[in-house]
Structure 1
């Protein structure tokens, strides 16, 4: 896997980058300034572009499932995600001598091969699952948008067309620093989407069907927690974002700012959407909006977000695969490195596109992804790894209580939420829903 598990206590891991490694060693500070890396603003946009997106569209439906308590769960999920994200990045520097390269290596340093395997399993399910979710949504929405003008192209065909478009930056742009420009436009597209969804919900409010609101639906809370965890599921790329920062010590502030910004956007969609559509809110919320120009704009914006955000997530996964196979200029040569990287990334895109065509149910897939992968990666594993590598004794009593609450919520969301999502997917397939 690119490092020796037997030497994990000595920190035999990947350096931050060759052009600033010497400066870090001289200063004795692994998080010293990295002059050749990107700015904090680029890091902010990378996080927001990955975190904010399709999960936003499922939030009114979440409130419809769980009631108004979902707003509190949204804020709680944000707070927990910020906290565990900070713990996870601290684990990268746990020994004070070298920087651990990735989430997988954090798991390996904490629990050996079992930790490595567990992270790989859940990490892969999320970092490939989110692009799958992106392409399911994009194919569905483009198909609906063009059903009159281009009736002969199926939803599956549109999914592959989107995959082909995303393959261009995914193959050509090597690192997250290079794809950061895409994330800026992705954030702008998401902001427009939020504005349209909010405005349309407010405009439709006077004509809504009378109904009552639920304060809390206890039975659905684990599923709500699991689905909302997708909305803050950026820690699969945090290590790469922090690695690409010129001022890595600013990561905590950048992370908190990005998550608060995302939470505000989520609230702007979730609250008006639930107020207007109540128990009839659909996932994605675009399905509840009236067929007009604004809905078309919102559809175009979410498609734009998919095409701009997917390369960020998929590049983070590709970098891990390329590290395993030593796909570097030094090992493969300049031409060989390009060929290997192209083949690996096209293979990843093929797998993602194939799954998106086989599982065309956005809402159920969103719930399963959040429950199965994100609850473990966001809430459970960072705490377990921090306790093992740095030690629970370094924490105050109230931090330990807080960690215990996060662990319970994460485990319940994973187990119960996964069961509910699998049942929903089974129902979707057996009933043939499209």
Structure 2
């Protein structure tokens, strides 16, 4: 599936011809401001971006899919997304002298200046803003679970709204860190936490053993319920593989020369990250479903109510992890916001602009999370609607458009298979997600 030079393009001159002011603005933006990352930065940034708290819902997805389809979907998703991630790493510097530091820049090269922007930016924003809102809810929920487990019904009940606000308060501070490299410590801690709480989840499941009357039949009892549940589970799995939306931005932080291109250290980090992803996803999914069957909750830590101290620790690990994940997904959004404010609206770059714009964004995600705390129930909808295109098949379409592999070659077949699977996922998963939204909305009360 080689990486032969794409047809019909000439070397770009990158920033040549730009004024000193334009270059200084470009270097001030968070994606471009630092390019001294090592390969292991790529590893833990990708782990933090990929292994979200959604891993704790994978046993539930297995209960909607069943053993055979569930294992097939997990393995196929791991292989396809690793392949499309490799494509994006390869395409980052395919034009001599130029780096595609942002997903939409690669889209513009593949589809044209305007069309590329309209294809990529809306989907990328849905993914990144959606993930940030989900992590606001997840962080608040995990803080509440930690509080409730520690208190053991001896404390006053505190509304979820307040825990979301506590979680958000951390991000009003962390969001002022200027770029990806400055959040590397937070990201490393988050990556360690993701592996830790995943290990607690499947390790405790093994310790408990199978339920006495474990049932591996599908969770739903009616045919429509089984079909919609299956579709929704596909979206949950798609949501678990969302790291592609920030991969080019992560690679942009790695130094590059013609002799030592950034793709080599980046790919080394990606391989390490995907090994960690496998160590998190597969044991949690398979052991959790093996132990509890269709009785497993949508969060495996809820099913594992004992030992209390260990579940409390695991929930705090989830909090630390989603703090890092929020920042990883927020950074490209900050970059887009600051690009518009500085380049389009001609506002002066500086601390004041960054303080106001980023604080407003954090406040927005907090407000939506407080208003719709069942937002994590929208995972299957967003998983199909936005995550499937940007993760499963958009890189393949770009590859076909740019490299133009020979028809019926291995590369051509591989990309078209990924495109077909990704489109099916994009169409089917939101159907299950919408049904889930309708069911939850019937019993929902605002600001409860």
Where in structure 2 are there 5+ consecutive unaligned residues? Answer: 1-8, 20-32, 220-225, 257-261
**What is residue 428 of structure 2 aligned with on the other side?**
416
Mapping 1:3-22, distance limit 5 Å: 11=12
User: How big is the shift at 1:86?
Assistant: 2.0
Q: Does 1:63 align with 2:62?
A: yes
Deviation at 1:332, TM superposition (A): 6.3
TM-score (norm 2): 0.83
Q: Deviations over 1:15-45 (max 9, x none)?
A: 9xx9xxxxxxxxxxxxxxx996111111101
Question: Contact conserved, 2:103 with 2:248, CA < 8 A, in 1?
Answer: yes
Q: Relative to 1, partners in 2 of residues 1:125 and 1:35: Cα closer, same or farther, differing over 3 Å?
A: closer
Give the aligned partner of residue 210 of structure 1: 214
Asked if 1 retains the 8 angstrom alpha-carbon contact of 2:215 and 2:293, the reply is yes
Residues 14 and 218 (structure 1 numbering): CA distance in 2 closer, same or farther, change over 3 Å? farther
Deviations, residues 1-27 of structure 1 (Å, cap 9, x unaligned):
xxxxxxx98747669xx9xxxxxxxxx
User: Over aligned residues, Cα RMSD in angstroms?
Assistant: 2.9
Q: How many equivalent residue pairs?
A: 404
Asked whether the equivalents of residues 234 and 380 of structure 2 are also in contact (C-alpha less than 8 Å), the reply is no
Alignment of 1:6-405 (within 5 A): 11=12, 37-68=36-67, 69-112=69-112, 113-147=114-148, 148=153, 151=156, 153-171=158-176, 173-213=177-217, 220-246=229-255, 248-250=262-264, 251-291=266-306, 292-326=308-342, 336-361=349-374, 363-393=376-406, 397-405=409-417
Residues 223 and 206 of structure 1: is their aligned pair in 2 closer, same or farther, counting only changes over 3 Å?
A: closer
Residue deviations 1:236-293 (CA, integer Å, cap 9, x gap): 1111111112461322232122112212211121111000111111212112112422
Task: Give the Cα separation in 2 of the matches to 1:92 and 1:364.
Answer: 34
Alpha-carbon distance in 2 for matches of 1:297, 1:102: 36
1:186-210 CA distances to partner (integer Å, 9 max, x unpaired)?
A: 1111122012111221122254433
**Relative to structure 2, which stretch is displaced further, 250-259 or 221-230?**
221-230
Q: 1:39 to 1:10 in 2, by over 3 A?
A: closer
Tell me how far 1:54 sits from its aligned partner: 0.8
Give, in whole Å, the separation in 2 of the partners of 1:192 and 1:316.
Answer: 27
Give the Cα separation in 2 of the matches to 1:302 and 1:380: 30
Deviation at 1:363, TM superposition (A): 4.8
Which residue does the alignment assign to 2:24? none
Native 8 Å contact 1:91 1:390 kept in 2 = no
CA separation of 1:206/1:72 partners in 2, compared to 1, >3 Å: closer, same or farther? Answer: closer
Write the distance in 1 (CA, Å) between the matches of 2:213 and 2:62.
17
8 Å CA contact 1:222–1:412 kept in 2: the answer is: no
Q: TM-score, normalised by structure 1?
A: 0.85
Please state how far the C-alpha of 1:84 moved relative to its aligned partner.
Answer: 1.0
The answer as to whether partners of 1:139 and 1:159 remain within 8 angstroms in 2 is yes
Moved more, 226-235 or 244-253: 244-253
Range with bigger deviation, 251-260 or 177-186: 251-260
| Cα distance in 2 between the residues matched to 1:379 and 1:13 | 29
Give the distance between the partners of 2:74 and 2:211, measured in 1 at CA.
Answer: 28
Deviation per residue, 1:120-147 (Å, 9 max, x gap) = 1110111111121111112123223324
